[in-house]
Amino acid sequence: MPMGRFRSLSTRLTVQFALLFAVAMLGVSAALSTFIAGSASRHVAEQLQSSGAVYDRLWQQRSRELQNAAQLLARDFGFRAAVASADAPTIQSALDNAAARLKVRSAFIVSADGRVTSIDGGISPRETERLWAPLDEGRLTGVSVLAGRPRQIVAAPVMAPNLIGWVVFAPTLEGREMRSLERLSAIPLHAAVLARSGGAWTEAAGSVSVLSPQAAASAERHMATGATFQMKVAGEKSIVLAKPLPAFAPGERAMLMLTYSKAQALADARVLQAALAVMTLLGLLLMGFATWRAAGRITQPLARLDEAAGRLASGEHVQVRVRGSDELARLAASFNEMVGRIVEREQRITQLAFNDVLTGLPNRTMFHQQLDQLFRTSEANGSLFALHCLDLDQFKVINDTLGHPAGDALLIETAQRLRHVARGHFVGRLGGDEFVVLQSVGVDRDAIDRLARDIIAAITVPVTIDGNEFVPSTSIGIAIAPDDGRDGGTLLRNADLALYRAKEAGRGTYAFFEESLNKRAQERRQLEADLRLALERGEFELHYQPLFDLEKNRVCSFEALLRWNHPKRGQISPVDFVPVAEDTGLIVAIGAWVIREACAQAARWPADVRIAVNVSPVQFHRGALHETILRALAASGLEPGRLEVEITESIFLEGSETTLRLLHALRTLGVRVALDDFGTGYSSLSYLQSFPFDKLKIDRSFIHNLLTRDGASAIVRAITELAHALNIETTAEGVEETAQLVELRAHGCSSVQGFLFAEPMTVSDVEQLFRDDRLGIRNVA
Amino acid sequence: MVRIILGSVTALALAAPAVAAPLAVRVVDAAGKPVRDAVVTFYPNGQARAPRAGGRYVISQKDLQFHPFLAVVPVGAEVSFPNLDNTRHHVYSFSPAKRFELKLFAKDQSRAVRFDRAGVVPLGCNIHDQMTAFVVVTDSVWTARTNAQGVAAFADTPGGPGRVTVWHPYLRAPGGKLQQALAAGQTRLNFSARLRPPAPAMHTDY
């Protein structure tokens, strides 16, 4: 890296560019400055040159003036006479006169034989004798040093008629003329004439002080070129022009020196340069600032990104603001997107860890965390909270008949409904169709009931899955902390027990945990274990309840009813163990045994007596029922037409297509099919239309209320009429009173079943019945 | 017709002493070229002989010039100055040898001047600057003008010791003449003269 190691890009950019610009600006400024100084110098040089030219003109003018005067004097007859006759007083007065007119102090006559008559006592004859040779040579003008001062020598020969001498004017090159020259110049220069006779350069009354030998040498060197040069004059750097002036005598040198103080010459330039310097400085500052700003504009987003990245690394989720649409903005946008992705991924990981993939609800892990949290809160402030445990009624059935995708869809739907109905509470899925809701409760315990009811109501809204509409339902078990458990495990167990109770109480309801439920749960587990052994031990037996045909007035059929003789607990009602058998799947084996047993028994009965067997939906859908029946019929040799399979409408819950296929398959065997418990649960007339049932068994609840409730009678009538229209037999269950029988007869019921006629009986009792030939109905109105 | 008697060597040498010696003086300029019309005069020590003054000398003004330009006359000679021009002339000389002024304001007006001292008398005209002439008034019989070879020869001179002076209108020398001593028995002298170009007519403007 060529630059130093900057921690900040902004600094680096600023420094780099500022340096670059600075170099450029300084370069330009230096060039400009040099140009300004140069042009100022040039200007001064030009001024000096023109002043030099002016001085030349002045010099010549003065020279001419003096010469004219000298010539005029030299021609004057009287003067010539005076000179020729060396008439000193006359000569002097004439010279005085001319000198006064010309404002010259030094004038003299040099005669051809070298004699001098002068009006200036300051000039020694020896000095003037020097002039004779150049005068004799014919020189008439020039500069010479006399009496230690440079003078402009102007001479005119005196002819009388031959050359007898020269009139010489020798004015000092003094300040006055220099001043006038200086005044003529556009710039305030200093002019001086310097002359050298032998040794040093001496100066007339110019304004230049005596030159040092070096300076003089320098001036002499430059005199030839006619160019301006720079040197120190009187200790001050100056721009100088040296012009040679004609020297009068050999060995003498003269020059006009025009000097101009460099400081003065460059004063304006200096002002300009100062302004330029200020501008440059301002420019640099501005440039620095602009660069800093620009760098900031570039690097600020980068710095923000840097900071954001740092914060991202430390686990924060930050978004940077995106401004504009340049690369930086795109970078920022990409960063945001990346953060978004990371957040998403983290959420996904978190979800995978704490959420259920299918429904997106919190999973068991998270539920336990939440539970612990609530326990801590509850301990801290003594608040209550309720745990609702729920599962979907008949979910297994749905899953098994419609397949897993349908089951998953139902679970997702359920989760959504729960989320909605239990807003503000924790909703989780523990697995399968098990859901939980954690509800913080204030003083109002009724809120728990309200929520439970709301949940049930929300779940029991009909749902369409795979084009099949059905109504799900749920049962809820509720445990309240801290009363029903001081830790999560206990609370959950107890809520589960409450759930079983709710299921027992009839599905689609809720129950609270009570301690007794614990016992029942243990009992049930025991029951399950015993149930597994019951078949092997042959603890089951069938009892048969006769059905009376109201037209033929005789027993037309027996319903096989399962009985379990438990070795310790004695007889256990099917109500107590069948659900357990269904839940565990044991019902398949037990059911198969029932069919075999019933067929075997019925085969020994009169041929006009049928046997009815209850088939559970579990058997129906998972028990290879068709095969079981086929084998039972084959083994017993029973006429298929004498076997009646009783199913409940709940089998249609798992999809009517497959159910109907199975029913038709049974039909093909010749087996009769009866619809049990008709009028309760999921009654749907479409079932009646979709399958030609042989019999409808009207549920005992209608019969029980037949005489007491108005509606019951109407329903029974409607069912019988409907069945009649569809050419389906009807059996009324649970007939206990004669009045009921009379009413049923009036409605045109095909057959009846109940304690009014006979309770369920053992095989031996049935056989006894056949032996006694007591198949007719007695005491029946 | 004016007779102009030139002071010829032969004429002057008539009065030569019995012991006669020849003398040849050669005048050359700085470039070594012979200088003609230089006036060479020999003064033997202690035996000077003035020429005899006689005859008439005329220096006329014609065509704004003096004629002749150079006249060598003996001491005491009288020179007349006739004005042959239509213009006026103001003839003058400021020479120490003879100072005079002649205002000749009419044609054919003539005045005479007697030159009674030896020396060079430059003549000028106060009206016409370009008019110049020289009258060399000599007091020695051994006076001669150099010929085209720059030589002035004297057949009979008393011989050295003596001195020889050389004068020329354009001679550049302090005092206006050159002078050398002639040793006894010396018969030849060489002079090197620096000459001025003839003075140009002076212009008033420069």
Substitution target from A162, A164, A166, A167 for chain B, most B beta carbons within 10 A: A162
Token look-up 């660069």 returns A291
Cβ contacts of A114 on chain B, cutoff 8 Å: 174
| Cβ atoms A140, A111 nearer than 8 A | no
Average of pLDDT values for B59-70?
A: 91
pLDDT tens-digit profile of A726-780?
999 999 999 999 999 998 999 899 999 999 888 999 999 998 888 887 666 554 4
Which pair of structure tokens corresponds to residue A122? Answer: 């300051």
Q: Please report the beta strands in A225-330, taking only residues with DSSP state E, as ranges in sequence order.
A: 229-233, 236-245, 252-261
**What does the pLDDT read at residue B205?**
28
Direct distance between the N- and C-terminal alpha carbons of chain A, in angstroms, rounded to an integer: 116
Cβ contacts of A160 on chain B, cutoff 8 Å: 92-94, 122, 124
- Write down the mean pLDDT value for chain A: 84
Question: What distance in Å separates the CA atoms of residue A17 and residue A287, rounded to the nearest whole number?
Answer: 9
Average of pLDDT values for A498-517?
A: 79
pLDDT value at A346 more than 70: yes
Cβ contacts of A109 on chain B, cutoff 8 Å: none
Q: Identify the closest residue of chain B to A60 by CA–CA distance.
A: B206
Cβ contacts of B69 on chain A, cutoff 8 Å: none
Question: What distance in Å separates the CA atoms of residue A577 and residue A587, rounded to the nearest whole number?
Answer: 10
Scanning A382-459, the segments in alpha helix (DSSP H) are 395-402, 404-421, 446-459
pLDDT value at A601 more than 80: yes
**Per the CB < 8 Å rule, is B134 touching A114?**
no
Q: Any bridge partners for residue B154, and if so which?
A: B23
**What does the pLDDT read at residue B15?**
41
Cβ contacts of B174 on chain A, cutoff 8 Å: 113-114
Question: What distance in Å separates the CA atoms of residue A354 and residue A418, rounded to the nearest whole number?
Answer: 18
**Per the CB < 8 Å rule, is B199 touching A162?**
yes
- A649, amino acid identity: E
- CB-closest option in A114, A138, A160 to B124: A160
Angle at A88 between CA A83 and CA A94, to 5 degrees: 70
pLDDT value at A623 more than 70: no
Which pair of structure tokens corresponds to residue B2? Answer: 């004016």
**What does the pLDDT read at residue A281?**
83
Label residue A345 exposed, middle or buried (CB < 10 Å: 0-12, 13-18, 19+): exposed
- CB-closest option in A64, A136, A161 to B129: A161
Average of pLDDT values for A542-566?
A: 92
Cβ contacts of B124 on chain A, cutoff 8 Å: 159-162
- Write down the mean pLDDT value for chain B: 81
**What does the pLDDT read at residue B6?**
41
Residue B39: which pLDDT band, with cuts at 50, 70 and 90?
A: very high
Cβ contacts of B204 on chain A, cutoff 8 Å: 68, 71
**What does the pLDDT read at residue B3?**
35
Question: What distance in Å separates the CA atoms of residue A332 and residue A336, rounded to the nearest whole number?
Answer: 6
Question: What distance in Å separates the CA atoms of residue A492 and residue A486, rounded to the nearest whole number?
Answer: 10
Cβ contacts of B206 on chain A, cutoff 8 Å: 64, 67
pLDDT value at A479 more than 60: yes
Q: DSSP states of A630-651 as a string?
A: HHHHHHHT--GGGEEEEEEGGG
Residue B119 touches chain A, beta carbons under 8 Å: no
Question: What distance in Å separates the CA atoms of residue A274 and residue A286, rounded to the nearest whole number?
Answer: 18
Q: How far is CA B7 from CA B59, B137, B139, in A?
A: 15, 10, 11
**Per the CB < 8 Å rule, is A113 touching B176?**
yes
Residue A208: which pLDDT band, with cuts at 50, 70 and 90?
A: low
**What does the pLDDT read at residue A324?**
78
Question: What distance in Å separates the CA atoms of residue A91 and residue A96, rounded to the nearest whole number?
Answer: 9
Residue A202 phi/psi, 5° resolution? -120, 160
**What does the pLDDT read at residue A659?**
84
**Per the CB < 8 Å rule, is B204 touching A160?**
no
| Cβ atoms B89, B108 nearer than 8 A | no
pLDDT value at A244 more than 50: yes
| β A190-197/A252-261 pair status | antiparallel
Number of neighbouring beta carbons within 10 Å of residue A777: 20
pLDDT value at A577 more than 60: yes
Substitution target from B94, B98, B172, B205 for chain A, most A beta carbons within 10 A: B94
Question: What distance in Å separates the CA atoms of residue A267 and residue A224, rounded to the nearest whole number?
Answer: 29
Which pair of structure tokens corresponds to residue A677? Answer: 């418990």
pLDDT value at A1 more than 50: no
Token look-up 């040197």 returns A231
| β B77-82/B56-58 pair status | parallel
Q: Which of A106-120, A511-525, A753-767, B149-163 has the lowest mean pLDDT?
A: A511-525
- Chain A residue set in contact with B, beta carbons under 8 Å: 64, 67-68, 71, 75, 77, 80-81, 83-85, 112-114, 136, 138, 157, 159-164
Number of neighbouring beta carbons within 10 Å of residue A178: 25
Question: What distance in Å separates the CA atoms of residue A477 and residue A4, rounded to the nearest whole number?
Answer: 73
Q: How far is CA A316 from CA A305, A312, A343, A350, in A?
A: 13, 5, 9, 15
Question: What distance in Å separates the CA atoms of residue A718 and residue A711, rounded to the nearest whole number?
Answer: 10
Question: What distance in Å separates the CA atoms of residue B82 and residue A55, rounded to the nearest whole number?
Answer: 52
Label residue A438 exposed, middle or buried (CB < 10 Å: 0-12, 13-18, 19+): buried
Selected residue with higher pLDDT from A754 and A117 = A754
Residue B105: which pLDDT band, with cuts at 50, 70 and 90?
A: confident
- CB-closest option in B122, B174, B175 to A160: B122
Residue B17: which pLDDT band, with cuts at 50, 70 and 90?
A: very low
Q: Which chain B residues in 123-142 lie under 8 Å from chain A, judged by CB atoms?
A: 123-126, 129, 131-132, 134
Judged by DSSP in three states, A13 sits in helix
pLDDT tens-digit profile of A94-105?
888 888 888 888
| Cβ atoms A638, A599 nearer than 8 A | yes
Residue A644: which pLDDT band, with cuts at 50, 70 and 90?
A: very high
| β A695-698/A672-678 pair status | parallel
pLDDT value at B16 more than 90: no
In the DSSP assignment, the letter for residue B96 is S
Of A239, A237, A208, A181, nearest to A52 by C-alpha is A181
| % pLDDT > 70, chain A | 94
Inter-axis angle of helices A710-725 and A738-747, nearest 10: 40
What pTM was estimated for this model as a whole?
Answer: 0.47
**Per the CB < 8 Å rule, is B134 touching A162?**
yes
**What does the pLDDT read at residue B206?**
27
In the DSSP assignment, the letter for residue A362 is B
Selected residue with higher pLDDT from A297 and A166 = A166
Peptide bond into B68 cis (omega under 30): yes
Burial string for A533-544 (b: 16+ CB within 10 Å, else e) reads ebeeeebbebbb
Residue B204 touches chain A, beta carbons under 8 Å: yes
Q: Which chain B residues in 139-168 lie under 8 Å from chain A, judged by CB atoms?
A: none
Give me the total of CB pairs closer than 8 Å, taking one residue from chain A and one from chain B: 53
Residue A229 phi/psi, 5° resolution? -150, 175
Q: Which of A147-156, A587-596, A717-726 has the lowest mean pLDDT?
A: A147-156
- The torsion defined by the Cα of A557, A560, A561 and A562, in degrees rounded to 10, comes to 170
**What does the pLDDT read at residue A425?**
92
pLDDT value at A178 more than 80: no
Highest mean pLDDT among A169-173, A220-224, A298-302: A169-173
**Per the CB < 8 Å rule, is B123 touching A67?**
no
Helix (H) / strand (E) element for A717: namely: helix A710-725
pLDDT tens-digit profile of A28-67?
888 888 888 778 777 778 888 887 888 778 778 888 888 8
pLDDT tens-digit profile of A120-160?
777 887 777 788 888 888 888 888 888 777 888 889 988 87
Residue A106: which pLDDT band, with cuts at 50, 70 and 90?
A: confident
Question: What distance in Å separates the CA atoms of residue A42 and residue A49, rounded to the nearest whole number?
Answer: 10
**What does the pLDDT read at residue A211?**
63
Residue A99 CA to its chain's centroid (Å): 104
Cβ contacts of A68 on chain B, cutoff 8 Å: 204
Cβ contacts of B169 on chain A, cutoff 8 Å: 162
Selected residue with higher pLDDT from A487 and A207 = A487
In the DSSP assignment, the letter for residue A324 is S
